[in-house]
Amino acid sequence: RLRLAPSRSGPGRPRWARHPACLVFYILFRNRRGSRPLSSPSAGRRLQPIVEVLERFVREGRLAALMWEVCQQQARGGPAELQDALLAGVVALPDRVSNSLRGRNPAVFFPQNYFPLLGAAIVEVLHEISASLRGTAAGGLCHGGTSSSGVLQEILSVLVPRLADLTKSDCIWQRICWRLVECVPERWMEAVVLGFVQRAPGADVLSRLLGNLVVKNKQAQFVVTQKFLLLQYGYTTAVLQNLLGYLSLDSLRRALLIKVLQELLETWSSSSAVKHSPAEQQEYISKAILICLSHLKEPEIESCRQELLTSMMEGVKCHLDSSLPQIRRLGMIVAESISSKINTDGPVLKFQYEEDDEARELKSLLVQAPSICAVPSLPDDNDDDLTPYDMSEDKELKKTKAPVYIRDCIEVLTGSEDTDKWEATVKALESLVRKNPAATREVSVELAKILLHLEEKTCIEGFAELRQRAQVAVLTVDPIPVAQYLTSQFYSLNYSLRQRMDILDVLVLAARELSFPKVHGKIKHVEKPCVQLLPGSDSSNDWRKIVDERIKSKTRRFAKGPSQVQVASGPNEFNSVAGHFFFPLLQNFDRPLSTFDLLGEDHFVLGRLVHTLAVLMYLAVNTVAVTAMGKALMEFVWALRFHTDSYVRQGLLSCISSVLLSVPAEHLLNNMTEELLETQSWLGGKMWWCMPMFFWLVLQFACNISLKL
């Protein structure tokens, strides 16, 4: 019979402390009388003394003694069932106490307090095992059951830092740690490996803690090479660096590193993965590829150079076909990195994209952090004491004058070798075109052709914007012939995708400018009469203004015009040319060329075309051709309604919205009844389309008639 009262021989030491820790814990855990377990909800208050003893048992470090006794029994071949039951009871103790006391358990049994104590007890047991291995040939075996719980993170938060410190220069501790992780059951291997990877301060520490676990244990190999890299993507960059750095630090594990890189590149170059995977997962895989490349050595790169090149070409094509800018930039960065690794001496790929913090972070992963070394101090070389030169009298070098005639600009852009003159011409071309519309119309098509093929000779800030503004100016000055030329070139051979998208951008910007009213002269503002205080020194110069203000302030008017600012008005210049901008773009979209297929691989350009047509349709409101444009656009939408790309489908919805906003309601009802019915059946009453379009159109038409009456 176990007595809970203190011993007479030791006033502060209870009698149960003299018994083996395994026996004491088993009796306390199964209840004092053995009739009901500690987890019985009907135990009530009579279990309070037992809980107090358990609390003291934990606080006095008896958990370490219990686990050490289990290790010794395991080494002597004791019953495995009893050992498993004891270790399972240690892990489940907080839950059992909480269930028995219905939430009123002591603070030591809170998970955030109990499991760090359990982790410290495990470290004490490992110290005993280390001492046993040093003293005798045989030693205890650490059982993996201590890690089989859902609260591994609390235990590992104590265990991993201590083991990292103990394994720095002690091979016995390294062997103990390796044996510890090798004995973990398979169902808990993922949680244990993840805890070590997340808490290890570096890849070298992780290598000391895990050893060649991924080579010996198939479950650990699957977790490290498949689950953490290809099936999950929520881990930080530091976890990726620890994981892949661990694979690179041993010759037996480097084969797994190359295998991981091949599988990552296979996923990265898969068009299905690029299309259907989340952007976060693709960024995660891109980071893993860059970290793998940073660990490859030259012989390894040479052995898989052709495979890297093939994956790079397939992957960059899939990424550039994506309609998401983030995915395209990821493909560019990874392709540049692979190219720099496999072509160390020759030319490498180079793309143009925005250099932000994210891009710089990705590129930094390709370079391993150098080891920190002491730098000898240098004498102070500060030049603050030097006297600066007097630059007040310096004059700027005379700049090259830009041409003053349109034909001179054409000559400079096509044949001049003077880069300064070429740069000045590019900067001044837009204003020159707008100031000389008559001269521009004589050579408008030729100038549009030159600007469409113009390449940057020197590094000019904002070159693409300058060229685009000049193209827009030429198109607005002479809309019909230039629009006919640009729309015909959109479906021609030997044009890059960038040039085709430039054509669409220029058409939209020019249509927007033509559809907005131009302001000729100053707009008159009618303001309320008021008295203004004018400076005394300037009153003699503008006496007329002072007199007018005094007359206004003293004059009483019974009828006065509107006091608002007069809105600028003028003819809609887009009215007569809208068809030349719009209809040629609809003619050949379903005819593939050898280098251009809108319905195939070039679906990104198709998305831009659809959005361009939607904008042109919206800008054509109140024009003569708006009804014909709307009818043609609805037929175009119907042909592409089942397209697989979301960017294209989004543009189709924009086209429908533009038609409903631009075409008058009576024309929709009279001329486009069939198209509207088909569109409504396609949309299927989703979102705001659940209100029948005919009801909305008839209501709008009735309102217009009532206003006219």
Which residues have CB under 8 Å from 339's CB, separation 6+?
312, 348, 349
Q: For residue 23, is pLDDT > 70?
A: no
Q: Token pair of 11, please?
A: 């006033």
Q: For residue 489, is pLDDT > 60?
A: yes
Q: For residue 516, is pLDDT > 60?
A: yes
Which residues have CB under 8 Å from 362's CB, separation 6+?
286, 287, 290, 330, 333
- 201-215 tens-digit pLDDT: 888 888 888 888 889
At residue 144, the pLDDT reads 44
611 neighbors 651 (Cβ within 8 angstroms): yes
User: pLDDT-based confidence at 509, cuts 50/70/90?
Assistant: very high
Lowest mean pLDDT: which of 82-86, 171-175, 381-385? Answer: 381-385
Residue in 608, 604, 649, 406 with CA at minimum distance from that of residue 503: 608
Residue in 236, 343, 325, 241 with CA at minimum distance from that of residue 290: 241
- 469-484 tens-digit pLDDT: 999 999 999 999 999 9
- 213-244 tens-digit pLDDT: 889 889 889 999 999 999 888 899 999 999 99
User: pLDDT-based confidence at 460, cuts 50/70/90?
Assistant: confident
CA distances from 549 to 5, 58, 218, 527 (A): 105, 93, 93, 11
Residues written for the chain: 709
3-state secondary structure 206-233: HHHHHCCHHHHCHHHHHHHHHHHHHHCC
- 534-550 tens-digit pLDDT: 444 444 557 777 878 87
140 neighbors 173 (Cβ within 8 angstroms): no
For the CA atoms of the chain, what is the radius of gyration? 40
Q: Token pair of 667, please?
A: 């024309």
The torsion angles phi and psi of 645, rounded to 5 degrees, stand at -85, 130
Lowest mean pLDDT: which of 130-144, 270-284, 321-335? Answer: 130-144
Can you name the residues that pair with 6 across neighbouring β-strands?
14
Instruction: Produce one character per residue of 434-453: b if its CB has 16 or more CB atoms within 10 Å, e if not.
Output: eeeeeebeebbbebbebbbe
* CA angle 241–243–246, rounded 5-degree value: 100
User: pLDDT-based confidence at 434, cuts 50/70/90?
Assistant: very high
CA distances from 617 to 447, 583, 663 (A): 27, 11, 9
Residue in 85, 207, 104 with CA at minimum distance from that of residue 143: 85
Count the Cβ atoms, other than its own, within 10 Å of residue 302.
11
At residue 61, the pLDDT reads 64
Indicate the DSSP class of residue 231: I
- 643-660 tens-digit pLDDT: 888 888 888 988 988 998
Instruction: Produce one character per residue of 325-358: b if its CB has 16 or more CB atoms within 10 Å, e if not.
Output: eebbbbbbbbbbbbbebbeeeeeeeeeeeeeeee
Q: Average pLDDT, stretch 274-283?
A: 89
The three-state secondary structure class of 14 is: strand
Q: How many helices, marked H, and strands, marked E, lie in the chain?
A: 34, 0
314 neighbors 269 (Cβ within 8 angstroms): yes
At residue 547, the pLDDT reads 79
DSSP string for 632-654? HHHHHHHHTTT-S-HHHHHHHHH
Q: Which residue has the tokens 């009893």?
A: 82
With residue 456 as reference, give the H or E element that holds it: none
The pTM (predicted TM-score) of the whole model is: 0.61
Count the Cβ atoms, other than its own, within 10 Å of residue 109.
19
The torsion angles phi and psi of 6, rounded to 5 degrees, stand at -65, 150
Can you name the residues that pair with 14 across neighbouring β-strands?
6
Residue in 262, 270, 277, 177 with CA at minimum distance from that of residue 225: 262
